[in-house]
Amino acid sequence: MIARRHALALIAPLALVLTGFFLVPVLMLLPTSFGEYIPGSGLAKGVWTLENYLRIVADDYYREVIWRTLGLGLSVTLACLLLGYPLAYLIARGPDHWRVPLILLVVFPMMLNLVVRSFGWIALLTNRGLVNNLLMQLGLIAQPLKLMFNLTGLMIGLTHIYLPFMVLMLVAAIRNVPRDVEAAAATLGSSRMHVFAAVTLPLSAPGILAGSILVFVLTISALVTPRMLGGPTYKVMATLIYDEYMQLLDWPSGSALSFALTLMAVSIIWASSRLTRRWAGMA
């Protein structure tokens, strides 16, 4: 164990940077979020109000955006999990000489800039994009499918972008499942399917949870991809906040939304780390 004194020394550089450049600026927004916005002139002096927060809960439009954001986070997480687990299992348990090429393949897209990748998806998904043209030429559809500016487009783009995070977390988790424990289950009468369901899956649960938290939080706070694939109309919380600040110049409302988003992310991380502790405590 590292002594507490040394632990503090190790954490100090990062803690200083985060405090100075993240925590303090964010906290400086806190008063703003209770301020009143007067269109045309900005922040009203000396006025404090809960209006900005109440509106998030009361306003139908804001509520819709919040639910949409959470739904998107959940579906992207689920999609990453379903697509990622088999791949992670193959990487962790497949032939040794496949491991490095497969991991490179997973990591490779991350070397490409986010904007470039999102543009790539636009080229593929627009009404006259590659996918729709191909399907129409094959005669499978008569009208172009609506693949952009809606949930489908965002899901495709975000799943693609966050899949590597999920896979890397899962590979580590699956590799941590002892082979002997699986062999023990097999000798006790478990079929391959049952070994997976009764041993491999529960023992990789901490990795599933960690990967899911990561993807969920990244998804609900993603800005660039939703902006590009969602367009000006199909908004999630991050793009909404951006517009409140940059286009409407309604800083109080933007700040309140920011804090709401942060609160959601933090409470989800808190809840799932409690879950992980309960599960992983046994692992």
Q: Is 186 in the site for another protein (CB under 8 A)?
A: yes
| Position among 158, 185, 217, 261 found at the interface with another protein (CB under 8 A) | 185
Query: Least separation, in Å, of the C-beta of 197 and another protein?
Result: 12
Nearest residue (CB) to another protein, 116 versus 193: 193
Instruction: By CB under 8 A, tell whether 96 contacts another protein.
Output: no
* 126 lies in the site for another protein, by CB under 8 A: no
**Least distance between another protein and beta carbon 213 (Å):** 20
Which range touches another protein (CB under 8 A), out of 102-110, 186-194, 217-225, 260-268? 186-194
Q: In whole angstroms, how close is the CB of 206 to another protein at the nearest point?
A: 10
Which tokens in the block code for residue 112? 């490409």
Q: Is 191 among the residues that bind another protein (CB under 8 A)? A: yes
The residue assigned the tokens 């890397």 is 168
User: How far from chain centre, in Å, is Cα 142?
Assistant: 35
* Residues whose CB falls within 8 Å of the CB of residue 5, separated by 6 or more in sequence, listed in order: none
Minimum CB distance to another protein smaller for 39 or for 95: 95
Distance CA 25, CA 118 (A): 29
100: left (phi over 0), alpha (psi -120 to 50) or beta: alpha
Distance from C-alpha of 57 to C-alpha of 256, rounded to nearest angstrom: 11
199 to 228, contacts with another protein by CB under 8 A? 199, 202-203
Number of residues that bind another protein (CB under 8 A): 21
Torsional sign, CA 159, 164, 167, 168: negative
Find the binder of another protein among 95, 189, 233, 246 (CB under 8 A).
189
Residues ≥6 apart with Cβ < 8 Å to 207: 169, 170, 172, 173, 174, 176
The residues that touch another protein, with contacts defined as CB under 8 A, are 178, 180-181, 183-192, 194, 198-199, 202-203, 279, 282-283
